[in-house]
A and B are shown apart, each in its own frame.
Chain A
């Protein structure tokens, strides 16, 4: 499946080549659609294409690296 997400990087993750590592660790096609990187944080709109289980595992791995993963709608649950 194709999954579209926003990744938020914080001070301690913003300088790491995390998307490159993701492509090495998992059999997914990564396609960056938008990115804004400052020294204290970064925001990347990323499309992931691959098998469902691989995508699930890739998202779990991203979270374990300390990256905040949201759907492109960001917060769907409203008050």
Chain B
């Protein structure tokens, strides 16, 4: 059963039929999927969801596809863990990590948005899918398209590091490197998307794509025992995930699946690219574009399309936004690894770093439930932490040398041995 009603302009309210379309003809406002929630009354229950496989599709009635998913059928439903060691370090009483660093199949939350975008693309009859990306999105489109038998194109700036190219190239996608200034590359992608009959995931099917992020929010609430948290800290690039977690919570409240806890939403950015955080802190609605300069490349969007909407969600929910330096990002990556055994990429370092800052500022109280959104895997951004890790001690293969090393480093263990 599909309860999708229309595509609706977020600015002027004009409604459009369900087609590959993303902006309002009249005012250029972004289009958003709207639903007839009334049809789900008494039908979409906790029991129904719980009876289904552990994937993001257990909430399929709230996603904009008509039939069953055809791409990324196994994706999502990642662990929500109670982070007791981190609670002690941060001095808080109830902290959780929603861990999309292990999202199937490409280890970031982008697998959620991409599987909705591509499943919808298949319904629309597209044979070729595309995106422009420097990292997680490229890998996710390439992998999910390969598994679904779709042809894919990935556009990248020509000077991208080899490792990032590999993360998409291995899946047999066609990679197009473009030689030019960032803004020109960006504009070319817009023209290509308009000209070729492809499903460009973050252009003509963006309204569908973006809805996939809601599943991250649904899972948090179900895994908390059908409860919304009091505080959620979300990394922001375009700002879309932030708005969709808010939408997910509001939908579950409307459907009677959770109580309204007055959840406050907090946005996290790196100081070197923090247009949304700056707007929130200055109490402004207009997002000032910036040139990105940070190790948190996956969040480095200087002119975020959903920045305005994210800043409004943050303000209206009673949350806040903060930003952290690259050093704080690295420290937070290590903190999460050393306390909880989770290796996140720079975006996760940003989110935990900001969480710590907000707790220290007293913006997030210490005695209420907090969820930290960890959205990507550390193995993808190893260069960011390589210098922060202690080099291993090298000894000769003799027990004498080992005893000597232990006596120096761990006198007690050595004496007991």
Contacts and interface: CB of A to CB of B under 8 A. Distances in A.
A70 B300 contact: no
Interface of B: 11, 22-23, 26-29, 131-137, 155, 157, 182-183, 185-187, 189-191, 193, 200, 202-203, 206, 237-238, 286, 288-289, 297-305, 347
Q: How many A residues are at the interface, by size bracket?
A: 20 to 34
28 contacts: A4-B23, A8-B303, A10-B288, A33-B28, A34-B28, A41-B286, A41-B288, A68-B289, A68-B303, A71-B191, A72-B28, A73-B23, A73-B206, A74-B303, A74-B304, A75-B238, A76-B186, A76-B190, A76-B203, A77-B157, A77-B185, A77-B186, A77-B189, A78-B137, A78-B237, A79-B136, A79-B299, A79-B301
A73 B183 CA distance: 12
A50 interface: no
Contacts of A76: 132, 186, 189-190, 193, 200, 202-203
Contacts of B185: 77
Contacts of B202: 73, 76, 78
B11 to A, nearest CB: 7
Nearest to A5: B187
A78 B131 contact: yes
A21 B382 CA distance: 49
A38 interface: yes
Given A45-B27, A77-B182, A71 B289 contact: no
Given A6-B28, A45-B28, A69 B301 contact: no
A52 to B, nearest CB: 10
Contacts of A10: 288
